Structure 1
Amino acid sequence: MATTTIQTTPPALVPGQPPRARKGRSLATNRGGFWFVLPFFVVYAVFLLWPVVYGLGMSFFDTSLARPESDFVGLANYRELLGDPLVWRTLGHTLLFTVMSTIPLVLVALLMALLVQTGVRGQWLWRFSFFAPFLMPVATVVLIWQWLFQYDFGFINATLGQLGLEPVGWLTTEEMAIASVVILTVWWTVGFNFLLYLSALQAIPESLYEAAALDGAGGWRRLVSITLPLLSRTTGLVIVLQVLASLKVFDQIYILFGGGGGPDGAAAPLLQYVYDTGFVSYRLGYASAISYMFFALIIVFSLGQLWLSNRRGTSQKGGAA
């Protein structure tokens, strides 16, 4: 009796299609990946998660560096900060600095990226010049601008004098305290936003500009109708990152004014008040409550921005449909 042998052949691979991956992973592979990421999780939990939880718990106690014991006070620290005028004054300084710095840091970065993208000669020099200040430490940046802002012999006032203008008390008047910090911060950090915009500009297909030029669109029309709309997502990202960074301003103001927050505290940010409350007045519990109130405001802003971005994306999809 003859036996019939059935030969099975593996399924032929479709050209351009990768071979099928195996279903699931072995337990040994999962264990190996776990041991690789375990050191990161340990460091993350010890230096980030635990301080966050511990600080939140501290905000409900009258913890002080001046005495070892502390008592549970519930929401007393949060009720106190609502009636503390210094909290709202320094928060106002922080919000004012955020608005004054975010606008030029977005517009100036965009103009710098457009200048380089136009094909001006010596692009490597422009890129290096625009980004180099961002690599400098804050202490060096503040030292440079302290000399530039000097009333009697500073370069800025000397230039104003040659133009027949009165010198300005950049670091000695309340009206110019925050403006001085804004100028310093824009010069120092605009290079990062410049790189984001430059990367987005380089990702725009050149064929779009060529087609627009064939239709008779000039440079301004191409900028308004092609470049700016395609940079909308990058602009949203830059605004979010810049607002979050400006809300956390502390170091340049603290060093520039020697820890005093400017004349009569005219430029003192909220984080400096947190520092002074916790490490100068030794009220760690109250400082923690202020910090978490500020953290809640940042979370609210982030969620609001996320909602606006999702709503804008939904409207754009609906319009395209």
Structure 2
Amino acid sequence: MSAGVQRRWQGLLFVAPFLLLYCTILIYPLLKGAWLSLYRVDLFGGGTFVGLGNYGRLFADPVFWQSMANTLLLALMIVPLLTAIALALALALNRATRGAAILRGVFFSSAVLSVTIVTLIWRFVLAPDAGLLGELWTAAGWAPLPFLSDQSLVLPALAVTTIWWSVGFPMLLFLAGLQQIPHDMYEAAALDGAGRWTTFTKVTLPALKRTTILVFMLQTAAQLQLFGQSQLLTAGGPSGASRTAVLFLFESAFGRWELGYASAAAEVLFVLIVAVTLTQYALTGRPGADNAR
């Protein structure tokens, strides 16, 4: 065996544990889901081959389309605002002081909470009768707003809850990006007489392009899979106004035991996430393109 072939086999053996785990927990379930989507099958196994019947039924289901619309609307509410807030926090806390370090820990602390704890906290905040906001509204002489039972308010309530929970991780990504910007660039901008806004738009934002793209792509993929907040805070109500795509397929699989139908919904959601992510990637340009010039 030649030295080159031996090195290739050594490399394959080195990555084999990761590849095995990756195929077991990601590739196999993906292929299994695609196979199940072609069958009428329940949780007890067996099943009848229906081809694209599940997809035809899915595309004619108004509840499915409502859940997809809710999911896309939530992503539009959450991702831009979450990115902007995370960037603002990173800019404000990018200081080597004890106070900034404490505040970084405070803002990141919500990210380590489970979705159950987060929804429990916000249920106490949003409840109109005895919640924090209800008490504040009453103290101000206003009628409390039914955030979780009003069709026009429930999605913004879920968006606020998710932003509060998720802001810590993108903030850290932006902090890491800010700390990679050479200080010489700011010194050169100061010597040229650039103000704060000019420095931010001409130095900081261009240097954070790759980080911003990464945050946008990660958060878009995450919010298109939003599930726990919708299930635990509102159970998809009122009248399906907060039912997300993942909650729809959860209800189909474990509520109505239609595993094949739920698998078809999962495959459509997967294609949507891939399409949105690739579209973002194409519109913003390759992250490494600037460095290649």
Shift in alpha-carbon separation, 1:37–1:108, aligned structure 2, 3 A: same
Distance 2:285 2:87 in 1: 24
Shift in alpha-carbon separation, 1:208–1:143, aligned structure 2, 3 A: same
Aligned position for 2:227: 250
Structure 2 unmatched runs, 5+: none
Shift in alpha-carbon separation, 1:80–1:221, aligned structure 2, 3 A: same
Shift in alpha-carbon separation, 1:54–1:313, aligned structure 2, 3 A: closer
For the residue of structure 2 that corresponds to 1:71, the secondary structure is strand
Aligned position for 1:273: 248
Question: Residues 241-292 of structure 1, C-alpha deviation per residue, up to 9 Å, x if partnerless?
Answer: 11110000001211112xx212112101011111111111111111111111
Alignment partner of 1:173 out of 134, 150, 154: 150
Shift in alpha-carbon separation, 1:108–1:120, aligned structure 2, 3 A: farther
Shift in alpha-carbon separation, 1:38–1:231, aligned structure 2, 3 A: closer
Shift in alpha-carbon separation, 1:139–1:312, aligned structure 2, 3 A: closer
Distance 2:15 2:199 in 1: 48
Give the greater-gyration-radius structure (CA). 1
Distance 1:233 1:30 in 2: 32
Number of residue pairs aligned between Structure 1 and Structure 2: 292
Displacement of 1:313: 6.9
Distance 2:14 2:208 in 1: 38
Aligned position for 2:116: 139
Alignment partner of 2:22 out of 29, 34, 44: 44
Aligned position for 1:16: none
Distance 1:30 1:296 in 2: 34
Matches within 5 A, 1:1-321: 24-25=3-4, 27=6, 31=9, 33-65=11-43, 68-117=45-94, 122-257=99-234, 260-310=235-285
Query: Are 2:220 and 2:277, in contact at CA under 8 Å, matched by a contact in 1?
Result: no
Distance 1:312 1:240 in 2: 12
The residue type paired with residue 227 of structure 2 is: F
Shift in alpha-carbon separation, 1:222–1:36, aligned structure 2, 3 A: closer
Distance 1:237 1:37 in 2: 25
Query: Are 2:213 and 2:287, in contact at CA under 8 Å, matched by a contact in 1?
Result: no
Distance 1:167 1:203 in 2: 46
The residue type paired with residue 263 of structure 1 is: P
TM-score scaled to structure 2, two decimals?
Answer: 0.91
The residue type paired with residue 21 of structure 2 is: V
Bigger mean CA offset, 88-97 vs 217-226: 217-226
Displacement of 1:39: 3.4
The residue type paired with residue 193 of structure 1 is: P
Query: Are 2:209 and 2:287, in contact at CA under 8 Å, matched by a contact in 1?
Result: no
Distance 1:153 1:235 in 2: 39
Distance 1:298 1:44 in 2: 19
For the residue of structure 1 that corresponds to 2:146, the secondary structure is coil
Distance 2:156 2:72 in 1: 13
The residue type paired with residue 276 of structure 1 is: E
Question: Residues 59-110 of structure 1, C-alpha deviation per residue, up to 9 Å, x if partnerless?
Answer: 11111236x5422111111111111111100000000100001121011001
Displacement of 1:36: 4.5
Distance 2:136 2:9 in 1: 66
Shift in alpha-carbon separation, 1:31–1:227, aligned structure 2, 3 A: closer
The residue type paired with residue 171 of structure 2 is: F
The residue type paired with residue 255 of structure 1 is: L
Quote the sequence identity (%): 36
Question: Residues 7-43 of structure 1, C-alpha deviation per residue, up to 9 Å, x if partnerless?
Answer: xxxxxxxxxxxxxxxx94573x655554444333333
The residue type paired with residue 205 of structure 1 is: P
TM-score scaled to structure 1, two decimals?
Answer: 0.84
Distance 2:141 2:178 in 1: 41
The residue type paired with residue 294 of structure 1 is: L
